[in-house]
Amino acid sequence: MSALLIEGGKRLHGAVKVHGAKNSVLPILAAAILGRGESVIHNCPALSDVTASVAILEHLGCRVRTEGDTLWVDASQLVRSDVPDALMREMRSSVIFLGAVLARTGEAEMSFPGGCELGPRPIDLHLAALRRLGAEVAERAGALCCTAVGLTGCDIVLSLPSVGATENAMLAATGAEGVTTITNAAREPEIVDLQNFLRSMGARVRGAGSSVITVEGGRPLHGGEHTVIGDRIVAATYLSAAAAAGGEAELTGVDYRHLSTVTAVLSEAGCAIRSTPERICIRADRPLRGVRPVRTAPYPGFPTDAQAPVMAALCTAEGTSVFVENIFESRYRHVDELCRMGADIRVEGRVAVVCGGKKLHGAAVKAADLRGAAALVVAALGARGRSTVTGLAHADRGYQDLAGDLRALGAEITRTEERET
């Protein structure tokens, strides 16, 4: 069993480069299937979710090689259009392969995806978009079976600005004859990153970053080359760590504009934040102050993935802070573990009330999901005494070297690997 041992109560000071975005690289890896040639992806993070994506690519017939943070995907010859259940269960984002495989081969078969248990995350919007493009979708023995004699461009109106549904629609639309317009599209920076990669492959896509995306499909695509954007949620985690522990930290490799709602909350809490196109600098002198209600929302609103680490930072803030989770139903699974460290948090439905001013103490805690793991680490850095954080398989899905990066910021943190008996 892996564990992080953290000596809390020590101010941070240092600099770290933020690695490539998990939520960007996964759809980009799926998009590589569309090009009949080799794609080169730079700033690719070493995450367990990336390893799972590579396994899917290789199962489909792609040749993949890695050198440092650069990954080459040769999709010249796909030999399969199915993804086995064991690979699908590795990560929630595996459903993104559905649109890409369908566009490339005209058929796709895969089971329902796995990943963190964050409450219902139906893929009905994904399937509705594929059906609009002309795909036939059936469920047989727990597997999704999609076929399309020929996809045709159309108007797709999403009832919610779902990131995954937007990405799947974009990927499938590249293989459709004619023009596809996606309305009420997600506006996240990762959508823009996917568009830029598709353009490098010869696709005609425009509008990403707005609520209307247009794809002119039916063009043969080739391999592309692209550098993945920095991970804004990793950056939000490290900013929260500095806020919780106090001190100064400098982050590079991430666009500060993608973090504006997070930095606004931390600034209101009393942190001094200075941003340039190349870096984000934070100075935190404790104690922090409580903030106005934080409501998660689709981009450009406050990101649901940043809710847990920011909440952890505000556990010791003077006053009360309220969080309203509007994206997922089960996004407060970290709360009970924070309370084991001395936090006073009360949850009612989608609302969590953080009664601050409490001193946290070290404890043995276990993560239940990816961002919850980050929250427990943030809290441990601000707590007095030693904490042991387990459940690191969740953290490994989205953080390339959480302990190493935090050590670069001056944290006393080590990772132990023990065999289970």
Terminal CA-CA length for the chain: 9
How far is Cα 13 from Cα 297, in angstroms, rounded to an integer? 31
Q: What are phi and psi of 59, to 5 degrees?
A: -60, -40
For residue 248, the number of C-alpha atoms closer than 13 Å in the C-beta half-sphere is: 4
Question: Strand (E) positions, 126-236?
Answer: 136-140, 143-147, 155-157, 178-183, 204-206, 212-217, 225-227
145 is catalytic: no
The tokens for 125 are 């919007």
| Cβ-proximal residues to 348 (8 Å cutoff; 6+ apart), any chain | none
Q: Assess contact for 368 and 375: CB atoms under 8 A.
A: no
Count helices and strands (H / E) in the chain: 14, 24
* Closest-CA residue to 91 (of 51, 42, 44): 51
Which of 44, 62, 116, 271 is the catalytic position? 116
The tokens for 136 are 């036939």
Provide the annotated active-site residues: 116
